Amino acid sequence: MPDHQLIVVGGGLAGLRAAIEAQEEGVDVAILSQVHPGRSHSGAAQGGVNAALANNPDGHDDSPEKHAFDTIKGSDYLADQPAALQMTTDAVPAIYQMEHWGCPFSRYDDGRISQRPFGGAGYPRTCYGADKTGHYLLHTLVEQTYRRQIRQYIEWFVCRLIVDDGICRGVIAYNMTKGGFEEFRAEGVIMATGGAGRTFAKTTNSMISTGGGAAMAYHAGVPLKDMEFVQFHPTGLYTTHILMTEGCRGEGGYLLNKDGERFMARYAPKAMELAPRDITARSIQTEIIEGRGIDGKDYVYLDLRHLGAEKLADRLPGTRDLAIHFEGVDPVYEPIPIAPAQHYSMGGIDTDVDGRTLMPGLYAAGECGCVTVHGANRLGGNSLLETIVFGRRAGAAAARDILGRERPLGPVKSGGEAGAAVESTIAELAAREGSEDFYAIREEMREAMFAHFGLFRDEATMKAGVDILLDLKQRLKKAKLRYTGSVWNLDMIRTMEFEGMVDVALATASGALVRTESRGSHARTDYTARDDERWLRHTLAYYQPDGGPPRLEYEPVELGLYEPQERKY
């Protein structure tokens, strides 16, 4: 029964950065991850990470304040403004820290870190390592955790929080390689479990981005914030939805419809292909709906041919490989078929700027959390930034809280009963007389989310979507485990996590249905205008154990720096 002062759930960028910071502050910290940290979704990030370093000659007078302004405008004014400024101010030292730890950023001839333009940004401020930025950042941090000999429990699947007297005191995890459940006791837990992209069909997210960590916090009574804001990336590969990075457009790529027209001129005449993602994705979808997709089909072209083979080899080599291997198209010679795909969860576990949640002892950082700096629409390059900035802050805060406690918390009450309870739940799942196919239910949910809560939303479609989700929850009760072996039981993992996924999906759906306005990624055809009077506020969804939709509460957005304006690009 392993005991540590602090448990970090997740070995992506946010979790690793949090663990490093907590250990530097002097606490005994361990990381639990269902995959090797180097295989976390962070490693798939391509385009880059934002910081106002002002290295690019076109961005020499960039500043954290300008970065904050772009972030807040990009968020359609739903970001908490002091939090956004905190992130953009911490960004500069955060990038230099990664550089000092050896991250191989692309560089200018004078040795400074290169910066490329990205959507919605007034200055070229996206630092990158070719188109493998996430991979480079992630492996830099993996090395740092090895160097510090931070304890890592790899291929352990966390399935519940241990909560004693309202304080989070650890987790229960399934040992994937050996079988069995264990209680990990601690004085604090940081959730860094990534996004919930897999609740949708057509997503750029990896298999493990299921929102499981958010669901555990939610089931334990912690609210999820702003879940209705879901980012659809403009350029997923048409057949597999694999991401073609925004860096393609940052380097000068065009979007073309069936007539060969750069249609963004109609929607964002100044920013063109570098408008923010919500606007660009909707523009593509509008072209498709109005019959200007390629050959009348539901995709358009991302054209990189004019950039030339040399530039593609230097700046976008991985993107070219992905297009060749997964779409059969070589971008040096042919335009790439693309369509919008689910990409990012703006919402998540409600936290402050130090990762603290409503529950003492429970923290969150990275994509599973909601600080909130992205508001209704995240700018490209701000998410990698969020992981290293708020990962660090959460690690520091958890360590300070643990070391600063006047009285020790005392032993954890559960003497194995919490773990035993999970085991008996599993036994029940295995013994059920099941008539439903669990995997079919899961696919139905993902399709329903994309169809009913996609790029354009309206009341009737969303109401029908909520009904589908509630029905799926009922049907889930009749699904049983197919495989009952103790080792590597992925069937059990998928079943356990699905109960969380469907609740996370319902939080998204319920928040979206009630919000009668259009803001950022939440675009309604029946309420097309932003309504600051009624809706300049955050949604908080509280889980209802009776199986119904969540209870929704609202809280004001923290303003103070920039007055909300109309968003034009």
Nearer to ligand FAD, 258 or 374 (CB): 374
Residue 158 in contact with ligand FAD, rule: CB under 6 A: yes
Spell out the residues 6+ positions from residue 559 whose beta carbon is closer than 8 angstroms to its own.
77, 81
Residue 250 in contact with ligand FAD, rule: CB under 6 A: no
Nearer to ligand FAD, 380 or 454 (CB): 380
List 116, 249, 277, 530, catalytic entry: 277
CB 109 to ligand FAD: min, Å: 24
DSSP-assigned beta bridge partners for residue 225: 348, 540
Query: Dihedral of the CA atoms 338, 114, 88, 541 (nearest 10)?
Result: 20
Which helix (DSSP H) or strand (DSSP E) does residue 175 occupy?
Answer: strand 167-175
CB 268 to ligand FAD: min, Å: 20
Residue 489 in contact with ligand FAD, rule: CB under 6 A: no
Residue 15 in contact with ligand FAD, rule: CB under 6 A: yes
Q: Tokens at residue 549, please?
A: 């939709």
Residue 496 in contact with ligand FAD, rule: CB under 6 A: no
239-438-429 Cα angle (round to 5): 150
Residue 37 in contact with ligand FAD, rule: CB under 6 A: yes
Residue 366 in contact with ligand FAD, rule: CB under 6 A: yes
Please give the Cα distance from 284 to 300 (Å, whole number): 7
Residue 213 in contact with ligand FAD, rule: CB under 6 A: yes
Spell out the residues 6+ positions from residue 279 whose beta carbon is closer than 8 angstroms to its own.
267, 268, 569
Residue 41 in contact with ligand FAD, rule: CB under 6 A: yes
Residue 44 in contact with ligand FAD, rule: CB under 6 A: yes
DSSP-assigned beta bridge partners for residue 370: 350
Q: Considering only residues 6, 13, 54, 176, which one is a binding residue for ligand FAD as defined by CB under 6 A?
A: 13
Please identify, among the stretches 97-105, 191-199, 268-276, 351-359, the one whose residues bind ligand FAD according to the rule CB under 6 A: 191-199
Residue 98 in contact with ligand FAD, rule: CB under 6 A: no
Residue 56 in contact with ligand FAD, rule: CB under 6 A: no
Q: Considering only residues 194, 236, 250, 520, which one is a binding residue for ligand FAD as defined by CB under 6 A?
A: 194
Please give the Cα distance from 557 to 271 (Å, whole number): 27
Q: Check: CB of residue 106 under 8 Å from CB of residue 130.
A: yes
Residue 163 in contact with ligand FAD, rule: CB under 6 A: no
CB 542 to ligand FAD: min, Å: 21
Q: Check: CB of residue 12 under 8 Å from CB of residue 135.
A: no
Does residue 383 sit in helix, strand or coil?
Answer: helix
DSSP state letter for 524: B
Residue 500 in contact with ligand FAD, rule: CB under 6 A: no
Q: Is 262 a catalytic residue?
A: no
Please give the Cα distance from 113 to 257 (Å, whole number): 35
Please give the Cα distance from 237 to 299 (Å, whole number): 9
Taking alpha carbons only, the member of 163, 507, 558 closest to residue 361 is 163
Q: Considering only residues 204, 231, 377, 414, which one is a binding residue for ligand FAD as defined by CB under 6 A?
A: 204
Q: Which residues bind ligand FAD (CB under 6 A)?
A: 9-15, 32-35, 37, 40-42, 44-49, 133-134, 157-158, 192-195, 204-205, 208-209, 212-213, 243, 245, 344, 366-368, 380-384, 387
Which residues does the annotation mark as catalytic? 277
